[in-house]
Structure 1
């Protein structure tokens, strides 16, 4: 890597700490790093207005966010199906409290399993290909749910579909964050949340409309429709570039630069593209050197496991606690219970069947309004 005004050499006397609280200079003799971190490069306006300046990357992020839509759809579709008489006539086990809860909860169990292996898969075969693989898993689960002849097959389909949505819900934000320009990263990541809630809302109103259909089509149709957006994602993502950061991770720096030029719609010699490219390459190189220093001679899978362990090291455990705490308490608020069981909960409070469905719909729309507000303000007021 050639020396430039935007780069410097890391030598003795400079202090950078790794995950174990050691100084990087203690084991790096000479590594060229960028003076301008990749996240500090500015490409113009932020927020929603900035999307008009970057339509290509906005389209890529919108397509990737269909993974979140599929997650939300799979969550929301079951709420009205759970109270359909046609559904209970075919699957009487799902009418019991345990059967209903077990069938619904297996989606979350599958999502938990999917979250565990998605990072390894995304690092190994790329973010794009990983999304295609998990779309296939999701669609297998959707087919099993749609065509299920018995309660057992339905539960198995929910579990496999859960693995798919868990990996989609993790893989899509990874891809979005790595292709987004720094000035739009927050806004584009909120697209994932908007898509999740939009999936919940749309699936709710689809089942609200199909509940009056006679026979099994009333619930099998909305279950089958969940494959539409996931399939669009699995096919469409291949028309967009690989993540520049992933290309850097697998020692393809020139392709990383080419990916950046496509994403930013700028020539390769543009100073902003060059600065971002140098920042990405430098960050990846320092990360690799620290991994080799802390975990010498380990295989790919062993390094992945070691990376998880590093999250609980003395240097990083506080950050890990904050990240896990935010996610935990967001779920602990009980939002998923309302998504899955809102009609049932409102009926238990004495509301009529029709009113319970209307109130559930209003609740879902309010979720969409709240997350849409975040979309417009996150890059103005900050994450906290």
Structure 2
């Protein structure tokens, strides 16, 4: 029997453009049989018009990038609506930036007032609790998404977030606020994991990257909306100056709860549940063409082949865990989690987890949560601190809008490389200026504005590169059989590292000042190495 090494079927970089069925051939972590490849090609040829395998004649649904959105309006609407969960997280980030400076809020929770013992730690803990909750939400997202579907899992996540928001709005002491943010974070973590996963499974390959940018765009839109809501309510002379913004964050979650009813199922999830005809009908509706259209038939056949083959592999690998008992189901789930780190999958997991790690340690959420404090280190007065914080958030929206056009045009790897270089330059210059002039800004206002400009430059660079791409990549690199768990681990990395950053930033600013920027500039430089593992041209069935 002739054996073909998987390394000869896939390029060294597993995430470069590949034929649609090279992953389907991956019967084991190390090799596949030539007979399997030939049989697969013969079956695929059955639905082709000229006897050639379908992977040699993929037909597109329309142009790539932004132009392709016009031909996929239904998919665009479903994708945009599913990312309301991202807006929940962005809203929380934006609302905290000014809330942490409100006298009414500090009076209600004196534990984070500057005069309290351990105020820096308490401020970081309170801010970071939503990330800790999100970590556990992402941890449980995989099995929930596989069991209840992607769309109904979004409903569950929204309900959990609403409960947390109600408790946060009604908080009367520091402990209640901490618990409320932990609960709300659980829902945020699920939403952040589910939306990219859902989008990747309903989107045509030509516009998948563009649609996945919507997740980051939704986050930054939430940041801007929340920032200016709190900017407007900060002068209210009662506890509603901060309770009001906390209350408003429930409305996107309520909209998501209601709207989920109208979202289509993922065709891949439906086929995995043996709902074959419904899978075809849903795919046809998503693509806006009849079920008999050759492109729909081709894509449906690809989904069927990939899911069926993955199921066969699972049955061969774990035949003793197929009896459906609770014990076997738990063991099978544990093995599926472990599969994300086995064979060729460990590199996919490294990409997802690693990109999220560096996304956080370049300092983005420290900048968003504590931007007024950071602008204070550059010599700006209170009103200008808030004004520039708003400008900073708008810069991220502008950059993210550019990414809608640029991601598929320039490719992930190239954008990450450029982004890493630009972020390093910005942090490095800021570190020098803050280190030299932190105690003499009144006589060095020009240097202060240069540092401010570098912070805006950092945000533009991040928003166009390291902001959207780490959210898009995990949903693209994992095969459907482990996509839920792979995306969950990547999102867990985001929230776990986000929690650490939120916790340590206030003590760092207070203790080492300009060293905070040295710290983030170092990680901006290191993240360039991670960029070498990413490129454009993913196909969900090429992994």
TM beyond 0.5: yes
Partner of 1:236: 259
Q: CA deviation at 1:223?
A: 0.7
| Contact 2:64/2:207, CA 8 A, preserved across alignment | yes
Distance 2:57 2:259 in 1: 27
| Contact 2:25/2:37, CA 8 A, preserved across alignment | no
Aligned length: 372
Deviation per CA, 1:174-222: give whole Å up to 9, x if none. 1111111111111111111100111111111111111011101110111
Distance 2:86 2:349 in 1: 23
Q: CA deviation at 1:40?
A: 4.8
Distance 2:123 2:24 in 1: 56
Q: CA deviation at 1:300?
A: 3.6
Change in CA separation of 1:70 and 1:307 when aligned onto 2, cut-off 3 Å: same
- After TM superposition, the structure 1 stretch with the greater mean CA deviation from structure 2, 274-283 or 364-373, is 364-373
Partner of 1:296: 319
Return the match for 1:179 from 194, 197, 202: 202
Partner of 1:92: 110
Q: How does 1:245-256 map to 2 (within 5 A)?
A: 245-256=268-279
Distance 2:333 2:38 in 1: 26
Return the match for 1:380 from 406, 409, 422: 409
| Contact 1:15/1:24, CA 8 A, preserved across alignment | no
Return the match for 2:380 from 351, 358, 363: 351
Return the match for 1:17 from 19, 26, 34: 26
In the alignment, is residue 264 of structure 1 matched against residue 287 of structure 2? yes
- After TM superposition, the structure 1 stretch with the greater mean CA deviation from structure 2, 34-43 or 221-230, is 34-43
Partner of 1:284: 307
Deviation per CA, 1:314-353: give whole Å up to 9, x if none. 3332232223222211111011111111112222443211
Tell me the TM-score normalised to structure 2 length.
Answer: 0.65
Distance 1:140 1:25 in 2: 54
Specify the SS of the correspondent of 1:327: helix
Change in CA separation of 1:209 and 1:310 when aligned onto 2, cut-off 3 Å: same
Structure 1 unaligned spans of 5+: 1-9
The RMSD of aligned alpha carbons is 2.3
| Contact 1:248/1:281, CA 8 A, preserved across alignment | yes
- After TM superposition, the structure 1 stretch with the greater mean CA deviation from structure 2, 131-140 or 92-101, is 92-101
Return the match for 1:109 from 132, 135, 159: 132
Q: CA deviation at 1:59?
A: 0.7
Distance 1:38 1:364 in 2: 45
Distance 2:176 2:126 in 1: 10
| Contact 1:16/1:25, CA 8 A, preserved across alignment | no
Change in CA separation of 1:83 and 1:257 when aligned onto 2, cut-off 3 Å: same
Change in CA separation of 1:37 and 1:126 when aligned onto 2, cut-off 3 Å: farther
Change in CA separation of 1:347 and 1:24 when aligned onto 2, cut-off 3 Å: farther
Distance 1:303 1:162 in 2: 28
Distance 2:298 2:26 in 1: 23
Distance 2:26 2:265 in 1: 30
Return the match for 2:233 from 197, 201, 210: 210
Change in CA separation of 1:19 and 1:98 when aligned onto 2, cut-off 3 Å: farther
Deviation per CA, 1:123-171: give whole Å up to 9, x if none. 0010111000010001111111111111111111111111111110010
Change in CA separation of 1:64 and 1:38 when aligned onto 2, cut-off 3 Å: farther
| Contact 1:38/1:279, CA 8 A, preserved across alignment | no
Change in CA separation of 1:106 and 1:15 when aligned onto 2, cut-off 3 Å: closer
Deviation per CA, 1:258-312: give whole Å up to 9, x if none. 1011111211101111111101111111111111222223234333322221122
In the alignment, is residue 333 of structure 1 matched against residue 351 of structure 2? no
Q: CA deviation at 1:41?
A: 4.4
| Contact 2:221/2:397, CA 8 A, preserved across alignment | yes
Change in CA separation of 1:303 and 1:244 when aligned onto 2, cut-off 3 Å: same
Distance 2:345 2:363 in 1: 28
